[in-house]
Amino acid sequence: MTVQTLAAVILGKGVHFLTRTLNIGGGSAAPGYYALKIDPDLVVHLASQIPCTIIITGTNGKTTTARMLAQFAKESGLKVIRNHTGSNLERGIASALLSHFPLLTSHLPDLAIWELDEAAFNKVIPKLKPDMIVFLNAFRDQLDRYGEVDSVVKKWCQTLKVVDPKTSIFINGDDHNLLALKDCFKGSVQTFGLESNKITGERATMQNKTHKLDFEARNIKLNGLTGSSFLLQTTNYKLQTTLPVPGIYHVYNFLAAYILAKKLDISDEYILNSLKTFQPAFGRVEKFDFGYIFLIKNPTGATQVLQTLAPELKSNDRLLLALNDNLADGTDVSWIWDIDFEQCKVQPFGFAQGESAKCKVFVSGTRAEDMALRLKYADIDPKQIAIENNLERAFEEARIGLKGRLFILPTYTALLELQRLLTKRGLKKHYWKEAT
């Protein structure tokens, strides 16, 4: 280790200690940010010492997929390092490496699992030299930062052209945007997807293109908020699976985690056993005594959440939608007009029709009025909508007289604010103290 790298490690560990001790953050980004100022190649130096590296990228599902895979790996006895707080830029990876890197011993992790931001992927991949990469999806998200989907995929293609052909690449074969990646990589690419209920992406010209999937979920049965069951099938075997988290999108996340686990020679026994105790990450179908929190951050993800909730909402349940336009959310909130709120008119959705028409909706955040207007244009009665920009007050008002469940759908920075609020009230731990 060079003097420069050693100095960066010592500084990073010091910042990590202070942020945790003083409760001013979880040390998920700041240690790496300052350490990289001293040694810009810190990630290269530390990551190269870990025997196996896996990258998970895509618009939605990175944190859940990484969490599942980490649980499978730990169940099998592997020592794992990952950026479990969801800090998925280079500084987040550097921070995770610093917090786990031993100065005086040689007990390094067996496996690194990194979730990578769609844009950061192109810069950081050459530094990590991964053994495996999985692409979950490519949806419109933070247009002011990423650009359109075609732009994101094109940059991924350029990066894959220089990735070692021995790297194992896996893509969501149902997302038509990702199929172009198969032509950009010199090595082999395997695909995963669903027999039905496919989430096919946004490229209309490729909607009718069919291809054989290497891993496929069949006979899918959705069991409300308790999860789903399906038959996982490959060319060689079948596995009946029960997933304890709801939503079609989580079936995709499981398939990705399962494929990576099998590549690591983790047995089905370890995978199925660890699924029984799997708990989602903070804000990703997180369950509380009062209800649930579902992170929303783009049109496709939000629509999938609504489709999951639609059959479940009752007249005594309530919704709280928190929309912020901070940098980490994306400053352009026009994406809310592409959320399929109109489905509420044709499904037994909580606040749209029939007995459920009394369901109250609270909107909050820096752009609460924008969300309220969007709901009005979806033919939701304005009398059912309460606007309160302050999230803490909105949370309190939504719980007053609550007889059913409260479903909270926040954008990213609103989710972080909720976590601080719930932690302060003793309703949950700091997210960085939760299981990794």
Helical segments of 316-431, H only: 368-377, 391-399, 412-424
Q: What's the rounded Cα separation, in Å, for the pair 99 and 31?
A: 9
Give the β-pairing of 238-243 and 228-233. Answer: antiparallel
User: Is 332 one of the annotated active-site residues of the chain?
Assistant: yes
DSSP letters for 280-311:
PPTTEEEE-SSEEEE---SHHHHHHHHHHHTT
Range 266-272 contact pairs with CB under 8 angstroms and sequence separation of 24 or more: 266/72, 266/73, 266/75, 266/76, 267/76, 268/239, 270/72, 270/75, 270/76, 271/72, 271/75, 272/241
Q: Is the CB of residue 316 less than 8 Å from the CB of residue 404?
A: yes
CA atoms within 13 A on the CB side of 397: 18
Q: How many helices and strands, by DSSP H and E, does the chain display?
A: 14, 15
DSSP code of 99?
H
- Taking the alpha carbons at both ends of the chain, their separation in whole angstroms is 28
The residue annotated as part of the active site, out of 144, 150, 164, 332, is: 332
Instruction: Show the CA angle centred on residue 230, arms to residues 266 and 115, nearest 5°.
Output: 50
Q: What's the rounded Cα separation, in Å, for the pair 335 and 300?
A: 10
Q: What's the rounded Cα separation, in Å, for the pair 427 and 251?
A: 29
The alpha carbons of the chain give a radius of gyration, in whole angstroms, of 22
Catalytic positions = 332
